[in-house]
Amino acid sequence: MNLKKYFITGIGTNVGKTITAAIITEALQADYWKPVQAGDLENSDTNKVKSLISNQKTIFHPESYRLNTPASPHAAALIDGIEIAMDKFELPETKNHLIIEGAGGLMVPLNQQHLVIDLIEKLGAEVILVSQNYLGSINHTLLSIALLKARNIPVKGIIFNGEPTPLSESFILNYSGLPQLLHVNNEIEITQSTIRYYAQKLLDSNLL
């Protein structure tokens, strides 16, 4: 089996990375790993994804860092009296596909020298970029793509999240040359059945 390793990152914070990670995890029945959780430890992203997954194959690997403050990882770590060390990040041992969920966007600092994009590079994962429409999101999306391309980091495609905005989305896709993997609409409630629905759409597209 050709094992896939996808890093889910976004054009910013709160753009739908966790929902996207749950959908792709369910579609591939992949393992899930969130290297850094900053804040909301009892309702962590790992716990959120776990509650949305209905397959029996997924294994949830523990975070490398669990920080108490909902802030940039470098700041949250400082408050906790620790420093995030890049050599502590090791891919979980698995014989399954692996979905890795980042913290915030590409330029979020992990410590005084390293950013999330450095972690992506270290882990050797292919990126799936999550974009959501707001004023300025075209700029943020294209800047994220340009940075990934400049670092020669492979990008599988884009997942748009939220209210459809055809003009913005078509411009981003045409300019970047990247494929749209999926569009996740605004949902009144996100449940296991919601995740299964989008996971099936993703599988039907045969783009993963």
CA distance 126 to 185: 24
Cα angle value 26/30/36 (rounded, 5°): 100
Place of tokens 């992990």: 110
Active-site position among 34, 95, 122, 201: 34
Phi, psi angle pair for 102, to nearest 5°: -80, 180
DSSP state of 207: -
Please say whether the dihedral angle defined by the alpha carbons of residues 167, 157, 92 and 60, taken in this order, is positive or negative: positive
Nearest CA among 23, 21, 96, 16 for reference residue 58: 96
Among this protein's residues, is 122 annotated catalytic? no
Structure tokens belonging to residue 122: 């270290």
Which residues are known to be catalytic?
34
